Structure 1
């Protein structure tokens, strides 16, 4: 018997959420043959090696391993009852399935960020108007095509209730015909604000949260094609999200001993957005 199968693991919320967020995306659990316990596994392209390395480092206390000797770099765990319990929670008839029960294990924005880095994309689109100008706009898509419409609805409702993230269903002809999408400006800003601290820890993933940089790239591409009348959607993308008055109010609330949840309620803003704003204000002091 492997020493890892008898070793006790007590994952932190951060560790568990990295695993759960990854299970919603590229990660999977396997239970084969005579093995009594399941194990975690995940493959990725070479360009994402730093991302898998980041995961393995954050999950090192759970004895996760990262090996680049395979054709595709592999992140994996040892067989263990911890992963068997997760397998039983997420797999129905050996098929990864989202339920209203197992989705509750996603409890921290780092898990949401992992799901986004695995299966999400930020696209900067453009459309030509009748007056000859070009309108640039972003959208965020989550490629949840392996999940049914009902499972996507569970994700949609949970993201709203837990993280105050608004998504909508978008229907396609491939996979199981449904993905999730964010296309409203305020909703995109809110989502990026929540996941950006974790996305920015991995250099190869920063482009997924860099609205300003992605807009500039798109603008330059359009200028090379001869378009000059291009909208400035990206002006004050972050600075306008919290006013100076908001920042002063937050400081006064913290001095008065109010919790982050209380401040979020008073500002009528998402809890995790306020948590990140306070973190960024501390870094700027």
Structure 2
């Protein structure tokens, strides 16, 4: 099988999941087997339903699933094929995975971004309270944990995603890998991302917490039965200029009250935003993620 023999859906799913949890197995032997190389994807059995969905929708690519003897992990695999030999040459340099930017143009089905998100992404929730109003405000953040790739590769990927799927990711600092991952910064864009992919929650119910924003809000309501749970509104989002102003102001020792006055925002809004900046802009590893 050759790359050009695949449908747009198959190409999109294969490359999306290859950049995520998938890998192309290569033996230490210098010679490549005549039958070609093999795709493999290790995962926890808790995510079995998602991998069974991949197997179901792309049977020409994936061949089966093996459960390990421990019973806690499994592997989605393909048959050996020249396709994976070719993809190994496109995606690996010195046995390290890279983003084949030249292949992205062939992956225009949304399943490409879905696979990236379900394989290597997370939905992170920031929570704040308004005691006087008895409210809990929930703010979603979408991350793609792709810090194994270089920043310039992530820039190319984010530009492709914005151009093709109209979802806007920015680089966000991490303490591991090559120190950057991708993040949707604005609240309304994070919610739009989830709304666009929520139909897949019906195909993979076990991923509903990660895909269906209304369902996720419902779970938060159950967790806070004595309070009103609301989603943060777009008008509360800070611009890049405001974020930069807060960083510079804090470095100069300006108080939160004075920053709030300058930005015409509430004191507590600035306090919460500074915590978010420290976690997600200056020290990414402090964020708590919901998988």
Select 2:12's aligned residue among 5, 10, 17: 17
Q: CA RMSD in A?
A: 2.4
Gaps of 5+ in 2: 234-291
- 2:32 is matched with which residue? 35
Change (3 A) 1:16 1:130: same
Give 1:153 shift: 1.0
Change (3 A) 1:88 1:70: farther
Q: Distance in 2 between matches of 1:149 and 1:176?
A: 7
Change (3 A) 1:223 1:162: same
- 2:91 is matched with which residue? 90
Of the structure 1 ranges 198-207 and 143-152, higher mean CA displacement relative to structure 2 is found in 198-207
Give 1:123 shift: 2.3
| 2:59 is the counterpart of 1:64 | no
Q: Distance in 1 between matches of 2:21 and 2:200?
A: 17
What SS does the aligned partner of 1:107 have?
coil
Q: Distance in 2 between matches of 1:11 and 1:155?
A: 21
What SS does the aligned partner of 2:140 have?
strand
Change (3 A) 1:199 1:221: closer
Q: Distance in 2 between matches of 1:138 and 1:105?
A: 30
Select 1:140's aligned residue among 130, 139, 142: 142
Gaps of 5+ in 1: 1-6, 235-285
What SS does the aligned partner of 1:200 have?
helix
Select 2:223's aligned residue among 221, 224, 227: 221
- 2:255 is matched with which residue? none
Q: Is the 8 A contact 2:217 2:229 kept in 1?
A: no
Q: TM-score, normalised by structure 1?
A: 0.71
Q: Is the 8 A contact 1:117 1:199 kept in 2?
A: no
- 2:110 is matched with which residue? 109
What SS does the aligned partner of 1:116 have?
helix
Q: Is the 8 A contact 1:200 1:209 kept in 2?
A: no
What SS does the aligned partner of 2:142 have?
strand
After TM superposition, where is structure 1 displaced by more than 6 Å over at least 4 residues in a row? none
- 2:76 is matched with which residue? 75
Q: Distance in 2 between matches of 1:220 and 1:50?
A: 25
Q: Distance in 2 between matches of 1:64 and 1:209?
A: 26
What SS does the aligned partner of 1:101 have?
helix
Give 1:149 shift: 1.3
The C-alpha deviation readout for 1:180-210, integer Å capped at 9, x for no partner, is 1114233123322332333431111122111
Q: Is the 8 A contact 1:29 1:39 kept in 2?
A: yes
Give 1:217 shift: 2.1
Q: Is the 8 A contact 1:126 1:137 kept in 2?
A: yes
Q: Is the 8 A contact 2:140 2:191 kept in 1?
A: no
Q: Is the 8 A contact 2:208 2:215 kept in 1?
A: no
